[in-house]
Every structure is written in C-alpha cells, then in structure tokens.
Chains A and B, each alone.
Chain A
C-alpha cells in the first residue's frame, strides 16, 4: 500500500530499516498512473498586495504527485507557502497558475467529495458537544441515525474521546480539541486527509504520541495522508516521503523517501538511520530557513526585495 512496498524494496521489515539516499534534485518522485491520487502541475500562487505594491509570490511553480494510500509529509520554513499549498490541494483556494487533479478530476472552485481537512487552528464548534461536533458532517450528509451513532462512537473511542462525548470543547485541552477536529474529519471516511500542522501547539511528548495515533489511523483507514508540519522529526518519522520546501516562494528542494515499514511507530526515532534522515532534511531546511529569516529582516528593514 505504501510507496515503499510499491517499489518492492527489500529489507524494510522493522524499525531498523535504513532510509534510501535522498533524491538529489527537487521534484516529485514519479508515481505510477494507476496509483495516482492527487497531482499538482505547475501550481503557482500570487497574493495581491494590499496597496499597489508588487503581489506576494507565495508558492511555486510546484509539481507534486501523491499516490493512493501514501503518507506524504511536507516540511518547510514558516511562511514558505505550506498552508497555501494545502488550501490549493483541498480546493479551498484556486491557484494563480497550474492545475490540480484529484482522483482524475480537476479541482476547481470547491472541495471535492472524498477530501478531509484538519486545520492548523482549532476549528471545533464551541456551541456543540464533542459528540455533536463529530456527528456534524454525517448529519449534514443525511446519514441514517443508527449508522451515524455507530460511526461517531467508533471514532470517539479511536481518538480517546469517549469519556468526553458530552463535554463542550471549551472544557478540553488544545490537544483534545484537535482530536475532536480529527475525529470530525475521519468520521466522514475521506479518501485523502490533509492536515496542516495539526500538532503545532502541542508539547513534544504529546506530539510524538499524536504521531503514533496518526499512523494508527492511516493504517486503519487506508486513506492517503498529506501532513504539513514544521517539525522535521515528525515528518521523517511518519511519512513515506518527505517533501522539503524552499523559502518563499515555496518549491520542493527535495523529496526524501523514508522507506519505513508500514507498521512503524514513534520508536523509530531511536533508529540510527532516523538521525541520518533528519540530518539530511535539516541540512536543506537550514539554508532555506536562513533565507526565510533573511527575507523577514529585509522586509523589516524596508529594503526592496
């Protein structure tokens, strides 16, 4: 199901599996046409500047292909266009240039069915209980009541929220609220799940455990997962492939294939090859982050770009 097994790589049988050499050049790893789930071609995004200045070139041109059932992570310095990329992939924003295809159909103007999105910020509905938050989408879709109850209860249990079903989000911690949002998305059984720095606000330990949960639900659902994160360890530990983005305008500087086994968990962080992988990703990201900070300083100093 994963890209790793697709390419028939031998020896990826345990947490000690070694990552393959990083692809030397930027650009997506190629994906067989039958396995193709979503594809971005030449995607560029410009934001109009507020007051007649030059528009902000936020993203691209970028090419990206995600395989069905793949776990694809995207890391990049802050402000490089990761959220913009996710918005475009979800159909929430239109690219200035380029095309987006999901399940062989071009995306235009609306979120296609089959895509679920978990946002960076808490998006739980404070006026609904946890149960009603999770049931929200199913009710709107007019699913039969018994089936709704069954699915909601399953995902509440899966996300460890069963005891909080009748609480309101205001009474939960940030991490628990993010779980509510994840459950609310998963209950609709999306075929592709997009997550934008979902654990950004959590502490390191909780993040690792949430990562495990993400792997668990990825295996349980068989869905394609695209995870945006600023945490290199998170990306390297969870994903089949890690796209490393440049400073704004974001492009892929590299796409690293991790070759972890499908049944991996957070313990692979102690694997020597994990350090090797994160080291390589960091060496690219370090330069780009310096550039990103340089941009910001330039902006502050008022120098023209």
Chain B
C-alpha cells in the first residue's frame, strides 16, 4: 500500500520533471524564433555544439580551472562561514555586534570590493577564490548564527534535567537542532559562491568559464555564449536540486 503510493509519487514526479524540461525547451525555441541568431542559438544547435565542445581540449582546461576555483572557494565559504556563524551564535555579545555588519556586507554588491581584492591577491586563481568565498561566507555565517540562536531553550533545560554532559548535549540536542538550518545556509552559500567565482573569472582572469563567457561576448560568438549559459544552467540546476532535496529531507521533521 505505502510502497505503491511511493511508486505512484515517483512516477508522478518524473512526469512533472519531463513536463518542466519540455516547457523550458519550448520557451527557448520560442525565444530563438523571436529574437533570432543575433542573441541566442536554438536548442538543437546549442546541444550539438555542447556535445562537440565539452570533450575538446580547448574547453576542458577552462572547466578544470573553474571547478578548482569553485571547489576552493566553497571550502573556504563553508568552513569559514560555519565557524564564524557558530562563534557568533554561541557568543551572544559578539553576535549582536557582528550581525548588523554582516547584514550590511550581505546586501553590499560585492563587485564594489573587487578592486580591493585584486590589489591584495592580483590576477589569477587566488583572486577568484577570494571573490567566490566573499560571496559565500556571509550567508553561511548568518544561517549558522541564526541556527544556534534558534535553539529552543527548553531543549537545553531538558538536557539539564536529564543530567547530560556537555558533549552529550551537543551531540544529541544541539547538533540535530542546528544542522537543518546550517544546511539551508550551505545551499544558499553554494549558489552565491558559484556566482562570485564566475564574476571573478569574467573580470580578472585568463582562465575559466567566466573568462570564456566574457571572451565570447567580446567576439559576439552567440553559439558559444548560449552553450556556456546552457552548461552553467545545467550544473546549477542539478546541484541545487540535490542540495534542496537534502535540505527538505532534514527539514521535514521540524
């Protein structure tokens, strides 16, 4: 009974997914027919070019450069953000001092800081990583801080009534209470770090997907632009769907 319900749910979701893909392709094709070759290439042309481009040795180093920069930036965003957020969450005073600053930094268009980043790190990998991390670290920190602040004080009192040690309290109460919210922060941090790395590559790099994109824009290579956007779209959609699924799974109980 439950199994068949689950199976029905699964095939239903597959249907929805197929419908969504069809809609996107249709909209894409329609847009192509309206604006024409000057702005966008058709789905068929793009797919054909993507299959040709992706395995080529012209493209692969750029993909590798982007992934390296993104991986490093993500690591820094996650580690730094969680550490900063937990510290600010548990240490109430510093949290109260830092929160408005983080909020301001979060809403500041970080592109304004790019000249400074370049002065410090120069052109190349480290600037891209720094720019990506700059985008990602703040949301991760904010979500982690709020996760800690959101701990139900009754749960901590329960821990004391049950006479749990600090380690047991962290392991059995604090961790499960804050992890779902932190994972939401990681999800938001993921897409913002990606954004940061790409912008970094567009403005100050000779490598990576961002560089290819800005280069194609300068050369008005519409096929290349559309294909790069398509590849980035695929990557972002797939990864965020995975992260969203994890996030939902963790939140369903709360």
Contacts and interface: CB of A to CB of B under 8 A. Distances in A.
A213 interface: no
Contacts of A137: 162
B164 A140 contact: yes
B253 A170 contact: yes
Interface in A138-185: 140, 168, 170
A125 B173 contact: yes
Interface string B171-191: 011001100100000000000
Contacts of B176: 125, 127-128
B154 A117 contact: no
B253 A168 contact: yes
- Specify the main secondary structure of chain B where it touches its partner: helix
Given A125-B173, A125-B176, A140 B168 contact: yes
B152 interface: yes
- Specify the main secondary structure of chain A where it touches its partner: loop
A47 to B, nearest CB: 16
Interface in A111-125: 111, 113, 115-117, 119, 121-123, 125
Given A127-B176, A140-B168, A116 B161 contact: yes
A92 B154 contact: no
A92 B254 contact: no
A3 B69 CA distance: 75
Interface residues of A, number: 22
Query: What range describes how many residues of B lie at the interface?
Result: 10 to 19
B253 A127 contact: yes
A110 B160 contact: yes
B168 A123 contact: no
A92 B164 CA distance: 13
A123 B253 contact: no
B110 interface: no
23 contacts: A92-B160, A110-B160, A110-B163, A111-B163, A113-B163, A115-B161, A116-B161, A117-B161, A123-B154, A123-B155, A123-B157, A125-B155, A125-B173, A126-B254, A127-B176, A127-B177, A127-B253, A127-B254, A128-B253, A136-B172, A137-B162, A140-B164, A188-B162
Contacts of B254: 126-127, 170
Given A110-B160, A117-B157, A123-B155, 4 more contacts: A117-B161, A121-B154, A128-B253, A168-B253
